[in-house]
Amino acid sequence: MSVALEKQEASSDQRSRRSGGREARRAMRAAPLADDIRPVRPGLEGGSYGPLSQNDQERIHEAVLTLLETVGFANAIPSCIEALTRVGGIYGDDGRIRLPRALVLDTIKRAARNFTLYGQDPKHDMLIQGKRVHYGTAGAAVHLVDVEKREYRESLLQDLYDAARLVDGLDNIHFFQRTMVPRDIPDPLDMDFNTLYACVMGTSKHVGTSFTVRENVKPALEMLYAIAGGEENFRARPFVSNSNCFVVPPMKFAEDACGVLEACVEGGIPILLLSAGQAGA
């Protein structure tokens, strides 16, 4: 009887060990992967997709240099004219400012190749260099599909905040570009301010937003400085950038956007330059 009891206890111990081993393996499979072995992670190298041949790229590059030098841009604001002519731009009698190719090439040569886009939380900092790739949101949608009410409606400030919260919890989205326009705030100043507030309160990742006019930047900067614990802290780690469409068809400056660009640069906000597709001049 004693032998039978010992065998029963041994069998029970083996089952317990097997069960414990299974539980350990399940826990290991369920646990998040370490950052350095994740199959998808911030900064993976891309660049393998090449739809244009080297010759095609050179032809486009040459065409751009020719257009900048011979056609130029209309509607430059006075401060833009002063800044560009000071470094070699040519302001013509026709009101267009032209950029000699030597100036363009030298500017490209001196442009930063490596920089960091900061998050409010340092773990979300993005090193921009080489062929490193980061994924983020984008757009300025004015409508959305309400999945609960199953209807197509105008986007609201709450929707923008919800989108930021969603991005904050998704590992493979690395920054939050303002996704929609809060249509429940008609005043442009209030809309710009609350858009920014909803974004930075919704996620600790890097945020991209825009401003309607130059005057709307100052109150936004005051808020960002307060969140960062002071202007110096924000300038050291700016966790918001300005998406700025400063050039629009047909090859002319967007005057309000240029004013916003200047105000953001002066206040320490990095700029994501956008240029709308051109359709002649």
CB 176, CB 208: distance < 8 Å: yes
- pLDDT class of 12 with cuts at 50, 70, 90: low
The tens digit of pLDDT for each residue in 70-88 reads 999 999 999 999 999 999 9
Q: What is the tens place of the pLDDT at every residue in 240-265?
A: 999 999 999 989 999 999 999 999 99
Backbone CA torsion sign across 176, 116, 121, 231? negative
Q: Which residues lie below 8 Å from residue 41, measured CB to CB, with a gap of 6+?
A: 35
Asked if residue 72 lies in contact with residue 97, where contact means CB atoms within 8 angstroms, the answer is yes
d(CA 84, CA 245): 18
pLDDT band, very low/low/confident/very high, at 35 (cuts 50, 70, 90): confident
User: Which residue blocks in the chain are alpha helix, DSSP H?
Assistant: 2-30, 54-70, 78-86, 101-110, 157-168, 188-202, 217-228, 231-236, 255-267
DSSP tally for the chain: helices H, then strands E: 9, 13
Which pLDDT does position 125 carry in this prediction?
A: 97
Question: What number of other Cβ atoms are within 10 A of residue 239's Cβ?
Answer: 25
The predicted-structure confidence for 89-117, as pLDDT tens digits, reads as follows: 999 999 999 999 999 999 999 999 999 99
Whether the bond between 250 and the residue before it is cis, its omega within 30 degrees of 0, is yes
- Residue 93, classified by CB atoms within 10 Å of its CB into exposed (0-12), middle (13-18) or buried (19+), is exposed
Mean pLDDT of all residues in 212-232: 98
Average pLDDT, the chain: 91
- pLDDT above 70: residue 41: yes
Asked if the model's pLDDT at residue 281 lies above 50, the reply is no
Q: Give the residue with greater pLDDT, 116 vs 15.
A: 116
DSSP per-residue codes, 81-93? HHHHHHTT-EE-T
Helix (H) or strand (E) holding 246: strand 240-248
